[in-house]
Chain A
C-alpha cells in the first residue's frame, strides 16, 4: 500500500538538507517497525519519494513524502508510531492512503506557497508600491548560476503567480515550482529590492488544475 505523509519542518530542522531528510525518515521508519517496501535491483533501497526540495534554511508547514509499504498498516497508527521516532521540529500533520498508481509528488506539484515575516519593521506603503511595480513589469530577469557553473539570466515574472500583502505587511507568494522550473522566494525578495531580514516559510504545495489549487493529499489521479 502507498501512504502520503504531510509534515512540517520548523525550527532548526530547517538546516537539514534533502539527503539528511531522506536518511532521517528511512531510519525513523525502521525504528518504528514500519514494513517499508524495498526496491529491487542491484542496490535495494526503501521506497520513499519526497515532494519538491526545500532550500536549506527554510522552514515549511507543508512537506510531503510518499512511502510504499510491503504490508498494510492503519494510517492513523502509522502517524502515532512514526511521530514517536522523529526529533522535535518534524511534525506529521496527516497520513493518508493513496492509490498505488497515483502519480508521484514531483510529477503533480507545480505551485509552492510562501509566507514572509519581516524581522524588522517595514513600511507597508513602500512595500505595496514595490509589489505593484514588480507585478507590472513584463519581465523580471534574475541572475542564476547554471549547472555548468556559468551565470545565466532567468525571467521569473511568469513564475510569480501571486504576490500580496497578507496579512499586511507580511507577504504571501504563490510561485511556480517543479519540473517546469522553480522560482525561489529569495529571488522575489531580491527583485523587490528589500534588504530587511525576513523569515520565509513554505506554507503549501499544490497542483494547479485550471484555476484551482489542489493539495497533494486530495489528488488521487
Chain B
C-alpha cells in the first residue's frame, strides 16, 4: 500500500499510532526472501491485542526462523473501518502495510467468544470470503489457535484449520510446511494442502470431520470423512519451558496498551482445579521456568524494551515455587533503574499479600482477590479451596500493610447457588469493610465487589451444567445491588446478555456459525467492548437462523451426551471431569496435584508429559508415584 494512502488515512483517525507498525522491536523481514508469510491477527483493537503474550511469543518464534515471516494486524477502530470501506481500501498488515489477502496464511487467536463477529468483519475488510467453502486456493489459508480452540466448532466453517495447544514449536513447523508446499507447487491445491497439514501433530482440519445430529438436536457423532485422518486430534504441549523459545525483544508499543509492561511468563498451567475454570484444564500440566532462566530473560527484556514494569505472569503466579526469590531478586536488580515488579494475580492468602507488599514499594492502590463464591458451601462446590478465614487473614494483612482499597471478584449463577450464597457475598464485603475500618483507623477503606456471570465452558467439570437464564442472572444482580451499598461499598456487574451469548458459543456446535454470520451482518463487532455490544443483533440472528440459544446456554447436558468437541483431546479425561462434577455436587474438595497426590485428570499419562516444578525435592512431580 503506497505511503501517501496510509498517511492520508492516519491523518483522519483517532489514535493513528495504532497503525504505524514501526514500534521498537517490530520485525520487518524481506518479503521476497521469506516465502512462507503469515499475518497474525488479534481480533480486537490494538491496545488489547498488543497486551497478549501469545502474540509476542509466536511473532518472535516465527520471525527468528529463516524462510518465513509474520506480521501483525488488529481490528481497526470504527473510524478507520469506515474510511477503509468508504475508500475501498483492504485492511492491511502493520509492518509492510500490505493487504491481508497478500499473505499465505491469516492466523487468528481465539481468546474469547465475543471476538468471533470481529473475525468475520476482519476477513470481510480484507476482501476474503468468510466461509472456508467459498474460498478458493487463491485466498489465504485461515488458521485459528488460542483457548477458543477448546471448542472451535461454532467458528469451524470460517477456518481451514486450527492449532491445538502450545504454538511456539508447532507454528514454525506449520509455516515450514507452507514454504515446502509452495516450493513443490502444491499450494494451489487446497485439498492436498489440508491433507498435509492434518498430518502435523496438533493440527485440526474441521472440514475433514462430519458431524451428525440426533433428533433432539444434540450431536450424534463427529467422525473423520477421509482416510488417514485421526479420530481425535491431541493438543501440542511443550514438555519443558526452559528449552522453549521466549521472546526477549518484544515489540514496545507507542500507544499505551492495556498491559503496557514486560510480561515474564514464570510458568504455564495451573493445577488448583477450580471446577469452572477452562484455562486450568486446557493448559495442563503445570510447567515452571527455572529461576536462572527467568532472571536472564528479565535482564534481556529490560535492556531491549526499556519498560518501567515487569509483570510476573501465569494463571496463578503466587504458586510458582520460587516466586518470592524471583520477586525479591528483580526488585533488587531493577528498582534503582525505575523498573517495578508486579503480580497480576494474587491467591487469596496472607503469603500473596506479603509478596505484593514486598514488590510494591511505593504507590499502594488496590488489591484484588477472587473468592468467586460467597459461602463456604459454594466455594467447596467449585473447589476454590479457600476459607473465609483465608480471605479475612489476607485482607487484614493488606490493610495493615497500607492498602485501603480491596477488590473482590465473584461469579453469579454457579451451579447449586442459592440466596444464602448471594447474601454471603454481601456479608463478606461488609465484614472486610469493617475490618478495614478497624485496622486502618482514620482512613477510608473501600471494598469493591465485581460480579461476572458464570459461563459453563468445555473441558471443565461444569461443562454439563445449564447457565442461569438472563432474567435470573439479572434478579441476582439486583439482589446484590440492594445489599451491597452504603459508604465504602461499591458494586460492579457484567452485562448478563453478553454472558448469555458467551455461554451459547462456548459449548456450541457448527450450526451456530450461521448465527454468528447473521449477527455480524446485523452489525455486531468489537463485542468485547460493552459499548459496541448489541443484544438485538443476536436476537435477530437467532430468529433469522431458527437456532435456539437456550438449547446451548440453559440446557443441562446428559452425562452420556456427545459434545461437539469430543473429537479434540486436551488431555483432561471426560471420566475425570464427570467425577469432579459429582464431587462438586457433594461439596468434596479435590487437592492440587502440586502437593504430590495425582488427581487422575489424565493429562500426564495421556499426553506423555509431566509436572515441572522448580522448588526443592519436596516438590517432586507426583505423576510417577501413581
Contacts and interface: CB of A to CB of B under 8 A. Distances in A.
Interface stretch (B301-309, B439-447, B546-554): B301-309
Contacts of B22: 12, 87-89
B79 interface: no
A17 B23 CA distance: 14
B24 interface: yes
A189 interface: no
A12 B306 CA distance: 22
Interface stretch (A25-33, A146-154, A174-182, A213-221): A25-33
Contact of B306 (A20, A28, A44): A28
A49 interface: no
A36 B22 CA distance: 25
A46 B339 CA distance: 11
A168 B374 CA distance: 75
Nearest to B260: A23
Interface residues of B, number: 26
Contacts of B306: 26-31, 85
Contact of A16 (B17, B337, B338, B339): B17
B338 A38 contact: yes
Contact of B256 (A12, A19, A46, A56): A19
Interface size of A as a range:
20 to 34
Contacts of B304: 31
B77 to A, nearest CB: 14
B362 A15 contact: no
A31 B20 contact: no
B23 to A, nearest CB: 7
Interface string B347-372: 00000000000000011000000000
Contacts of B305: 27, 31
B24 A26 contact: no
Contact of A36 (B10, B16, B20, B338): B338
A24 interface: yes
B200 interface: no
B407 to A, nearest CB: 20
Contacts of A169: none
B256 A30 contact: no
A80 B20 CA distance: 25
Nearest to A17: B17
B24 A30 contact: no
Contacts of B7: 12
Nearest to B24: A87
B338 A20 contact: no
B338 A12 contact: no
Given A20-B254, A27-B306, A31-B303, A15 B20 contact: yes
Given A12-B10, A12-B22, A30 B338 contact: yes
B362 A44 contact: yes
B20 A12 contact: yes
Interface string B289-323: 00000000000001111111000000000000000
B626 interface: no
B338 A44 contact: yes
Given A12-B10, A12-B20, A15-B16, A30 B308 contact: yes
A101 interface: no
B254 A26 contact: no
- Give the interface centre of A12, A29, A38, A57 by most chain B CB atoms within 10 Å: A12
B255 interface: yes
A43 interface: yes
A57 B252 contact: no
Contact of A20 (B17, B302, B362): B17
B28 to A, nearest CB: 11
A88 B22 CA distance: 8
Contact of B308 (A12, A26, A28, A56): A26
Contacts of B17: 15-17, 20
B11 interface: yes
A27 B10 contact: no
B19 to A, nearest CB: 8
Contacts of A26: 306, 308
Contacts of A15: 10-11, 16-17, 20
Interface string A75-107: 000000000010111000000000000000000
Contact of B337 (A28, A30, A43, A57): A30
A56 B16 contact: yes
Contacts of A12: 6-7, 10, 20, 22
Given A12-B10, A15-B17, A57-B11, A27 B338 contact: no
B252 A27 contact: yes
A15 B7 CA distance: 9
A46 B255 CA distance: 18
Contacts of B20: 12, 15
B254 A16 contact: yes
- Give the interface centre of B10, B17, B22, B302 by most chain A CB atoms within 10 Å: B17
A87 B24 CA distance: 7
Given A16-B254, A30-B338, A87-B22, A43 B16 contact: no
A187 B254 CA distance: 28
Contacts of A56: 16
Contacts of B252: 27
A86 B466 CA distance: 54
A166 to B, nearest CB: 25
Contact of A87 (B23, B303, B339): B23
A13 to B, nearest CB: 8
Contact of B363 (A24, A38, A42): A42
Contacts of A27: 24, 252, 305-308
A17 B15 CA distance: 9
Contacts of A45: 338
Interface in A31-85: 31, 36, 38, 42-46, 56-57, 85
Contacts of B337: 30
A32 B252 CA distance: 15
A19 B17 CA distance: 11
- Give the interface centre of B7, B252, B254, B307 by most chain A CB atoms within 10 Å: B254
27 contacts: A12-B7, A12-B20, A12-B22, A15-B11, A16-B17, A16-B254, A20-B17, A23-B254, A24-B254, A27-B252, A27-B305, A27-B307, A28-B24, A28-B306, A30-B302, A30-B306, A30-B307, A30-B308, A31-B304, A31-B306, A38-B338, A42-B362, A42-B363, A44-B362, A57-B16, A87-B22, A88-B22
Given A31-B305, A36-B338, A43-B362, 6 more contacts: A27-B252, A27-B308, A30-B307, A31-B304, A42-B363, A57-B16
The 7 closest A-B pairs by CB, nearest first: A27-B306, A30-B306, A15-B16, A31-B306, A20-B254, A15-B10, A87-B22
